[in-house]
Amino acid sequence: MGAGASPTAIPTTSCQEHYLLQNSFLIAFLRPSGSCTFLSTGSISLYLSLCGLLVVLEYLAFFNMIDTKEIMREKRILVNNDVGRGRLSHRNCGFEGGLFIGVRSLVWFVCMRSLFWLHGTFVENPEYAGYIIPPPPPSPNFDASKDKLRKLGDAEGCLTKEEFDKMKQELEAEYLACFKKTRWPCMRPFYAASQSTITLAYNFNKLSDGVKLIGSSESDGLSSFLMKLSDTLEKMYRVEARVASDEDLKLTNKNLDKARARNKDLEQVENEQQECFDTFNNISAKAKEELGILKTRRISSFQKSLVELADRSYLLEKYEKSRIFIEGKGLPPDVNRHSVFANDYLDLSDIEIYGFDYDYTLTNYKKSVEIFLYNSAKKDLIERLKYPKEFENFHYDDKYCIRGLHFDIEHGLLLKVDSFHQIQLGSVYKGRRQLADEEVLRIYQRRHVPLKMIEERHHRKPRMSQMMDIFAKPFMCLLADVIHWFSEKGIEYEPYSIHHDVWSSVQTSHPAFHKECVKYPEIYLEEFPELSSFLENLIDQNKQIFLITNSTFDLVNAGMSFMIGKDWKSLEFDPVKKILLYDKVWKLLPNKVYSGGNLHTIQKMMKWEGSKVLYFGDHPYSDLEDLTLHHGWRTAAIIRELEDEIDTINKEEFKKYQNWSITLQSLIENNQMYLSEDCKDVITSWVHELNDITLKMKKMSNPYFGSIFRTHVSPTAFSRNLFRFADIYTSKLINMSPYSTDHVFYPRRGALPHEFRHWTG
């Protein structure tokens, strides 16, 4: 019987009979009057509609739409009925299964809210169609989807349009999938061919169609009820869909409102995002640039380290090569201690007149003269000026002082100054105590000494006095001893007063020295046998000779007689001193002694031409300065200390020091461009080594003040005056003997600072 066939009535006694056609069901509904109606369908949907009807009836009973008393009566009837007990007899009538259900059974079945087997004692087998009516599928859970939808609304202002659309599509797919999760397979064996399943999503439509089909079969009360029930189910479906749709719409609108509220400043947010993006790009670019700079710096630092390492190795290698070269190089030849050295061009053939000083020029004094002057001045300090008797324990030390030192009258200091008025540090003494460099700089503020402190200007005496002659050595030694004694005793003193007292005592000792020298010339004078032949040679060459001195005639006569003989005046000397005669002197006569007068008068009287006169003296200032600057005489200096100086520089050790110091100084000067710390350390070590060598060379000349002619690298103030006022200089007058009267002295051509240091072929 098809789904659209009209119902067929059967006797009541046949209620327990059931017939099941293949692929179809017969459903019997008992009327209240006891009759039954059978419906036939070829689709499984009717059965499912009936299952849904059970739920609807339960729903109607709950809301009192069906009388519960009727339901309970039907329940009691069904209990006493075999059908109510759930038993079905089976007859082998060619049907695969059958089903018979009454209205009471149906109502009771709904009220019991449980499931019963519709078969009785029949043993189950694979071909049996009796199955348990399945429970309703689980209700869909939309909570997760709603939470996700709410989160989507909250995050919409922070997402781009593409991200928001993507999440929305995912949410819709997940929302629709909730229905599929409630799928519950039922009656699969009846549809093994198609293997289709029935889900909750289609239940309401199936129920509505099934009930409508049943209700359209016969227009009676049940049909009307079923039609109403079908409409109710359809409305419920629509209501549920509308409610779900409204809720989703409300939630969506709510989230959209939130998103719109947050997106009011979308342009500002986009601008801020763009700014952040630009900032990030800038930071990235700067970071990239910094990385490049860092890489460059690291490479540069590495290269610099390599260069510094190479530079240091280069400097050390250069140092070693220079040292080996100097050691292999021969030492310079010795300097002849008896040579005559020229500061300026001098042609002796132009010289017609030779003049001489007496002290330390024509004559040489022994050390005993300095000792006599020191002891005599010390005695005068004690006896005449009443200085402490402890001064008697003082002893003359000829190794302490050198000629050319300056004495600072204000501070009581002995110091060595170079030709540029620079103080040589390490050569400043207060008494016998050496002053540290810091103390010297604290006193003078700098190394330079102003000219007004050294030379007399505008009739003002200078603050410093320079000891230029040899007689000054006893004075400097006694002055240092007195100052040292007061300093060690902690007694306050006035340096100017001590300087004046010591100078006065030394000057007082000179007359006593003259008397002693006249009595005992052999004690104080060195023999000079070659002097006579030198002077006679000049006379034989038709040269005039004369003697000018500030010493007494008795002293000169005793000395000349000791060195040459009592007939020394027969050498046609023209001795000149202070002229004491009251008669005017018009000319100088041989073998006569004159006293007084002045150089200008003598030169005019003798008709001497300055360039033809060569004068010898030992004091660059008092003997040579005026003659050179004002009269144009040619001058020669006799420097006794020159022999000791030459003996020192001729020592092998000194030559090695000098060669290496010159080379080391050149290394330092030529490699200052290497500025790395390692290279600076190397060069600094060279500087220390150079200072050590210079100090050793200084002590080889004099342990306190060094050489009379130079500081470490510059000429001394004494040398400056010597080179300025003397055309030639030597250690003794007799050193002129090997040179003919036609000899020409040429100054050594030294390289000026701006000239080549050496010539190469």
Angle at 583 (CA atoms; ends 582, 586), nearest 5 degrees: 135
Residue 357 is a catalytic residue: yes
Q: Rounded distance, CA 66 to CA 136, Å?
A: 22
Please state, in angstroms and as integers, the Cα–Cα distance from residue 138 to each residue in 134, 141, 511, 619, following that order: 12, 9, 147, 135
Q: How far is CA 102 from CA 64, 84, 115, 511, in A?
A: 21, 9, 15, 176
Is residue 359 part of the annotated active site? The answer reads yes
Residue 702 in contact with residue 330, Cβ under 8 Å? no
What is the bridge-based pairing of β-strands 464-466 and 575-576?
Answer: unpaired
Of residues 209, 311, 357, 618, which has the active-site annotation?
357
Residues 297-319: b if buried by 16+ CB within 10 A, e if exposed: eeeeeeeeeeebeebbeebeeeb
CA nearest neighbour of 353 among 160, 112, 181, 607? 607
Tokens representing 428? Answer: 């400043």
Q: Give the separation between CA 472 and CA 474, rounded to whole angstroms.
A: 6
Cα–Cα distance for residue pair 426/440, rounded to 1 Å: 9
Pairing of strands 406-408, 413-417: antiparallel
> CB within 8 A of 638, min separation 6: which ones?
357, 360, 361, 616, 617, 618, 729, 730, 731, 732, 733
Report the alpha-carbon distance of residue 742 to residue 731 in Å, rounded: 21
d(CA 52, CA 61): 14
CA atoms within 13 A on the CB side of 553: 14
Please, which contacts does 176-183 make with residues 24 or more away whose CB atoms are closer than 8 Å? 178/140, 178/141, 178/142, 178/145, 179/140, 181/138, 181/140, 182/137, 182/138, 182/139, 182/140, 183/137
Contact (CB, 8 A) for 27 and 50: yes
Structure tokens of 90?
A: 């089976």
Closest CA to 124 of 97, 92, 99: 97
Give Cα separations from 160 to 155, 166, 576, 736 (angstroms): 10, 10, 122, 112
Question: What is the DSSP code (8-state) at residue 68?
Answer: H
Rounded to whole angstroms, the Cα distance separating 621 from 633 reads 14
Q: Which residues pair with 418 in a beta bridge?
A: 716
Helix axes 68-79, 103-112, angle to 10 degrees: 110
Count other C-beta atoms under 10 Å from residue 52's C-beta: 20
Q: Using CB atoms within 10 Å of the CB of residue 576, give its burial: 0 to 12 exposed, 13 to 18 middle, 19+ buried.
A: buried
Q: Is 675 exposed, middle or buried (0-12, 13-18, 19+ CB in 10 A)?
A: exposed
**Among 209, 311, 359, 418, the one annotated catalytic:** 359
One-letter identity of residue 557 = N
88, HSE (Cβ side, Cα atoms, 13 Å):
21
Identify the residue whose tokens are 């190795």: 313
Q: Which residues participate in catalysis according to the annotation?
A: 357, 359
